[in-house]
Structure 1
Amino acid sequence: MFLTLVLCATVPVLPSGTRFTCTPTRVWDGDGPVWCAEGPRLRIAGVAAREHDGSCRSNQPCPSATAEASRDALVRFVGQPIGQSPDGHVLVAGAAMSCVSNGPAGGHRTGAWCSTAAGVDLSCALVASGTVLRWDRYWRGHVCRSRR
C-alpha cells in the first residue's frame, strides 16, 4: 500500500492550458486513464465511458457500448496492444500524442484534449466511434476538426 501511495503522489497533474506530449503506455478504460511515458495519467476530455466493471456513475452520461468496447477503441486510437498488466491495464505501444491540459480530473489524472501523431482528435474520434458519449458538462465548446 505504501508503494501505491508513493507512486500516485509522484504522478504530475498538469495545470489547465499546459501543452505536453504523451507517449501512451497503458490504458484502463474508454475515457482513461491513459498512462504517459512522460509521467501524466490522462482522463480524455469531454467524454464519458462505462467504468471498467461495466457500470456507469449516476452523474454522467452512460453509453450503450460495453466497457471493453470503449477501452479497445481507445487502445486502437493510441497504439497497439502489447499485453496486459496484472492489475488489468492494457499495455500499449503508441506514438507520442500532442495534448493540452484542461486541468485536474481527480485521482491524480490530468484532463486533456489530445491529438494522435496522425492528427486525429482523440475525444472526437471516440465519440464518432459510438463507444463513448460526449459529456456536455466538460465538452465546453470543443470543436472537432479533421486534419488533412
Structure 2
Amino acid sequence: MRFQTFAAALVLIVLLAVWLNGGASEDRQAPAPAPAEADLKCRVAYVHDGDSLRCQDGARIRLHAVAAREKDETCSPGHPCPAASAVSATRMLKRLTEGRDLACRTTGRSYDRVTAICWTPEGTEVNCAMIRSGTTVIWPRYNRETPICA
C-alpha cells in the first residue's frame, strides 16, 4: 500500500512539473526559419563589436536597428546608449554568430557596411536576440521602417 501511495504521489509531481514547464516539448513553437527574402549569406569570420561582424567573403554587416557601445565603451552623440558594456555585447554576438552561417536580409548601408537583419540556421533572429540579451538596445530611428523582433 505504501508503494502505491508513493508511486501515485510521484506521478502527480511529474505531471505538475510538466504542466508548470509549459507542457511537452512537441507543444512548443519552433523558432521561425529565416525569411525567403533573405538576400545575403554570411559565414561569420569575425565579430568586430556588439553590432557588427565580418563574413568570410569580406562583407561587413552592421546589425539593423541595434545599438551597442563602441569598443572604447563610449556612445556616440545622438546614438542610443545601452547600459551594458561593449565587451559583454561583443561576447554575446560572438556566442550567437562566430563561425556560423547566417541568412540576412539587407536593409541599407552604413559607411562601408551593409545593414541587415540576420538569422541563424535554427531561425533565431540575431538582431532581436542581441536586444533581448540586454547587451544592446533598439535604435528607434532605424526600427520604424523595418522593425526587428517582429
TM-score, normalised relative to structure 1: 0.72
1:31 to 51, 59, 70: 51
Which structure 2 residues correspond to residues 51-130 of structure 1 after superposition, within 5 A? 51-79=70-98, 94-106=99-111, 108-130=112-134
Residues 104, 110 of structure 1: 8 Å contact kept: yes
Structure 1 residue aligned with 2:20:
none
The amino acid across from 1:119 in the alignment is G
Stretches of 4+ aligned residues off by more than 2 angstroms: none
Structure 1 residue aligned with 2:136:
132
Structure 2 distance, partners of 1:36, 1:46, is 19
Structure 1 distance, partners of 2:143, 2:41, is 21
The amino acid across from 2:105 in the alignment is V
1:21 to 41, 44, 47: 41
Change (3 A) 1:116 1:18: closer
Deviations 1:109-139 (Å, cap 9, x if unpaired)? 1101000111110110000000000001111
Change (3 A) 1:143 1:68: closer
Q: CA RMSD in A?
A: 1.5
Structure 2 residue aligned with 1:91:
none
The alignment covers a number of residue pairs equal to 113
Runs (5+) with no aligned partner, structure 2: 1-36
Greater per-residue helix proportion: 2
The amino acid across from 2:134 in the alignment is G
Deviations 1:75-104 (Å, cap 9, x if unpaired)? 01103xxxxxxxxxxxxxx22100011111
**Secondary structure of residue in 2 paired with 1:73:** helix
Runs (5+) with no aligned partner, structure 1: 1-16, 80-93
Structure 2 distance, partners of 1:29, 1:77, is 13
TM-score, normalised relative to structure 2: 0.71
**Secondary structure of residue in 2 paired with 1:28:** strand
